[in-house]
Chain A
Amino acid sequence: MISTLGHFVLFLALGMSLYAAGAAVYGARTGREDWLASSRNAVLVNWCLVTLALFLLEYALITSDFSIRYVANNSTRGSLTRYKIAGLWGSLEGSILLWAWLQSLFSALVVARYTDRHQAVMPYVQAVLQGICAFFLLVMTFAANPFAPSFPVPPDGRGLNPLLEVTDMLVHPLLLYLGYVGFSVPFAFAMAALITGRLSEEWLKNTRRWTIVAWLFLTGGIFYGGWWSYRTLGWGGYWAWDPVENASFMPWLTGTAFIHSVMIQERKRMLKVWNLVLITLTFSLVIFGTFLTRSGILGSVHAFAEGPVGMVFLGFLALVLLFSLGLIAYRADRLKGHGELDSVVSRESAFLLNNVVLIGICFTVFLGTIFPLLTEAIRGTKISVGMPYFNRVSVPLGMALLLLMGIGPLIAWGRASLNNLRRNFVKPVVAAAAATAVLVVLGVRQAEALLAFLCSFFVVGTIALEFWTSTRTRAATTGEGFLQAFAALLLRSRRRYGGLIVHLGVVVAIIGIAVSSIYKVEHEVTLKPGERMEIGPYTVQFNDLQAGERPTHILVWANLTVLKGNTPLTELHPGQRFYPNQQSPFASVDASYHWNQDLYTILSTFERDGSSATIKVMINPMMAWIWIGGCVILLGVLVAVLPERRLAMLTARAKAQPA
């Protein structure tokens, strides 16, 4: 029943989005408002239909209706309801349905927001967004039907991979999808600008907020994924340069470049083609990423099942690239920039360099990701590109980026005077050098760490100086109190100061990444009950092994006591989870997390009779800073995008409350 109905609804939705796209273009060409209105309605109906399909599949998942193949593959009777719900994005077909739903939702939001504005471009924006939506619906109706029936109907389903049965599964994929889909909105506006020839800065202004919100979700998704991996996967890391991780990182890099380079166009009318290329690249990389995850052409822990879907995605990627680059080529004559660089020592050139570095990193990551494929195509041998390559290339580029982050926001537009340079940079440079010298005195000797600290201190110095001088100036001229002046400043140029807060978050995260990777300590030993091991200032004592049955698995865990000197600090219980449906056990990490370091334990192997256990213990210094940095970035973006009135209300309320 649901099977037929669901598939039918998907067909209807496909028809509706094709109609919406067609009617929008026809209405715009002929100038007929009734067709445009009809197209807008079709966008909304399309959203309702995809929502219905989504509910049907969720209903089947929640009620364990194994007559649907997707449900049988991605859920079991024993699962908690929330993981049954999460089954929607646990595998190929469902994740495409979720994607299509978000795509139709974003289309509807755009239509609802701009019903009577930007009438020249809106029909084409609608057409592009609905075209993308139609693609995902097409995939489901013809290549990966989430409502395909199962025959014979199995007594129980296979369920999600146990690694996915954690609450993080409810957050990380959704954030990423919101980011991915979000970037389709600026892409659609860019395409509409190219089609209509309205190539001024209008499309940038319209999409600024959409872009930043998409960037926020993508950033959040990437950070959250790292956090999830770190806490649960049991290898003590958060990023492995896996093809699918790279697939989310590449659009992030180009998207970040885009957010910066649009500022040059807004200010100086330069880089028009470049901005169009960047947003095209960002969206193409999003599709490229989904293609990688769903085609199975590269081995990855994240990969979905293989199937004809890969071919369809490749076709779509080709279409997107040829269509958008073709449009840029078509309009190339009208895209001549107005300005030129006045001086190399200017904000424009700092931003340009930032773009070059970001694209450089993106290209490096791209090359590393597809290199196995490249060598196999050319030389017929299979090689793999591992973490050393990515780390070696991205660390120096990351440092360059960090440095630019300090320079870019404060250097003057046009041509920076010596006075401007002196005023903004002398103090931060001196302070950073002094702070780094203190670290050397304290015993830090690693060149890489010192360089990272030097750059970080410099950026923090510039940001602090900027906040300090602006606040002081405002307080002096308006007579406001210091805090009040600071808040008013944040409110008045939210984009600028939100951006600086984001930079601060990036610095905090980079310090965490640098210190945790350089000063990580790791020991693995086999212990008998009662035996101890030393790591750093700690002693870890293995007491005994225990086992117990959990609703979905059997858990074996080691009881560890952590001591410092002879004082017990805490108990840790790393374990292994054994699932009836799975070949190998899954790690169950236990750690004690602190702001300055994590003590992280993994149960590697054990004797069944409990006579010994092999335990891996790591000290990861300043790991928390990565996640704190992520939160600061979130805060900065919120400052930058929250609507004026909302923020004013919040500050008014804060003021009303006595501190």
Chain B
Amino acid sequence: MTWKKLLIPLASVPLILLLAYGFRTDPKAIPSPLVQKPAPEFRLKAFDGGEVSLAELKGKPVVLNFWASWCYPACYEEAPLLEATWKRFKEQGLMMVGVDIQDKEANAREFLQRFGFTFPNVPDPGSKVSIDYGVYGVPETFFIDRQGQIVYKHVGALTPALVEAQVQALLKGK
């Protein structure tokens, strides 16, 4: 086979390289406009009967997690990590709130029981809070600093490394 003929199959190489490059990009990566903005306030009744108000948590860094019992597997994957993070950092002043969206109450309570959540969790009747936060799909997690500013938003299941880094940064911040 001559070199000239080799050009026929080689013509497809640039295309393949371009497509391979595509893996390095994320077509869905649209930065949240809420980052560096004050976290929208809400006041809701928790599953355990108490009341959670974001305004009253000012001065504490907050991890705000949106979840649902039908959100399998992502919410199921990150649930143990959330509880562990809460147990580990609550003494240092970290606050954690779970918001359950678009769910049936019985299923939601079963979810809470299964993972033994001890941090406050609230249902979101009418999806008001999830609309305020522009939640697109669960799970989504917002990291809010002591001044009540959203500093980071994560879409999809959390990973230990990410939580560690974000929470440490929040706790160090003023």
Contact = CB atoms under 8 A, between A and B. Distances in A.
Contact of B21 (A291, A310, A329, A373): A373
Given A157-B72, A582-B102, A296 B9 contact: no
17 contacts: A72-B73, A73-B72, A150-B73, A155-B69, A155-B110, A158-B70, A159-B70, A299-B27, A311-B23, A325-B9, A329-B5, A330-B1, A330-B5, A372-B27, A373-B18, A376-B25, A580-B103
A377 interface: yes
Nearest to A66: B72
Given A297-B23, A376-B25, A377-B21, A581 B107 contact: no
A253 B1 CA distance: 32
B72 A583 contact: no
A69 interface: yes
Interface string A312-356: 001001100110011011101000000000000000000000000
A156 interface: yes
B19 interface: yes
A374 to B, nearest CB: 7
Interface string A516-542: 000000000000000000000000000
Given A157-B72, A373-B25, A580 B104 contact: yes
A332 B18 contact: no
Interface stretch (B32-40, B57-65, B130-138): B130-138
Sorted nearest first, the 6 A-B pairs with minimum C-beta distance are A297-B22, A299-B27, A325-B9, A321-B12, A329-B5, A329-B8
A277 to B, nearest CB: 9
Per DSSP, chain A at the interface is helix
A281 to B, nearest CB: 10
Given A373-B21, A580-B103, A332 B8 contact: yes
Interface in B1-25: 1, 5-9, 11-12, 15-16, 18-23, 25
A158 B103 CA distance: 12
B5 A332 contact: yes
Contacts of B5: 329-330, 332
B136 A328 contact: no
B52 to A, nearest CB: 22
Given A155-B107, A291-B19, A297 B27 contact: yes
A370 interface: yes
Contacts of A580: 70, 102-104
A326 B10 CA distance: 8
Interface in B112-127: 114, 127
A158 B71 contact: yes
Contacts of A156: 70, 107
Given A155-B110, A314-B16, A583-B136, A298 B22 contact: yes
Given A296-B27, A330-B5, A582-B102, A158 B19 contact: no
Identify the interface centre among A325, A328, A372: most chain B CB within 10 Å of its CB. A325
A141 interface: no
A325 B19 contact: no
Nearest to B137: A583
Interface in B40-82: 68-73, 76
A443 interface: no
B172 interface: no
B27 A314 contact: no
A603 B110 CA distance: 36
Interface of A: 69, 72-73, 150, 152, 154-159, 291, 295-299, 310-311, 314, 317-318, 321-322, 325-326, 328-330, 332, 370, 372-374, 376-377, 580-583
A295 B22 contact: yes
A154 B70 CA distance: 8
Interface size class of B (residues with CB under 8 A): 35 or more
B28 interface: yes
Given A296-B27, A317-B19, A376-B25, A73 B73 contact: yes
A322 B9 contact: yes
Contacts of A72: 72-73
A295 B23 contact: yes
Given A581-B70, A583-B135, A325 B12 contact: yes
Given A377-B18, A580-B102, A158 B8 contact: no
B1 A154 contact: no
A177 to B, nearest CB: 22
Contacts of B135: 583
Nearest to B115: A152
Contacts of B104: 580
A160 B136 CA distance: 17
A332 B9 CA distance: 12
Contacts of B70: 154, 156, 158-159, 580-581
Contacts of B71: 158
Nearest to B103: A580
Nearest to A300: B27
A297 B12 contact: no
Given A329-B1, A329-B5, A583-B130, A318 B16 contact: yes
Contacts of A159: 70
Q: For B7, B18, B107, which residue has the most chain A Cβ atoms within 10 angstroms?
A: B18
Q: Which of B19, B20, B114, B136 has the most CB of A within 10 A?
A: B19
Nearest to B75: A154
Given A150-B72, A152-B114, A297-B25, 15 more contacts: A73-B72, A154-B72, A158-B72, A295-B22, A295-B23, A314-B20, A321-B12, A322-B9, A325-B8, A329-B1, A329-B7, A373-B18, A580-B102, A580-B103, A583-B136
Contacts of B130: 583
A581 B102 contact: yes
B70 to A, nearest CB: 5
Interface in B80-126: 101-104, 107, 110, 114
B103 A322 contact: no
A298 B29 CA distance: 11
Nearest to B68: A581
Contacts of A377: 18, 21
Contacts of A291: 19
A154 B1 CA distance: 59
A318 B12 contact: yes
Contacts of A582: 102
A479 B15 CA distance: 61
Nearest to B17: A377
Nearest to A157: B72
Contacts of A374: 18
A299 B104 CA distance: 31
A318 B12 CA distance: 8
Nearest to A291: B19
A69 B101 CA distance: 22
B129 to A, nearest CB: 13
B10 to A, nearest CB: 8
A615 to B, nearest CB: 23
A582 B137 CA distance: 8
Contacts of B102: 580-583
A318 B9 CA distance: 10
Given A325-B12, A332-B8, A298 B27 contact: yes
A328 B23 CA distance: 30
A313 to B, nearest CB: 9
A40 to B, nearest CB: 31
B21 A583 contact: no
Given A328-B8, A373-B22, A580-B103, A321 B16 contact: yes
A314 B72 contact: no
A581 B138 CA distance: 10
A342 B127 CA distance: 72
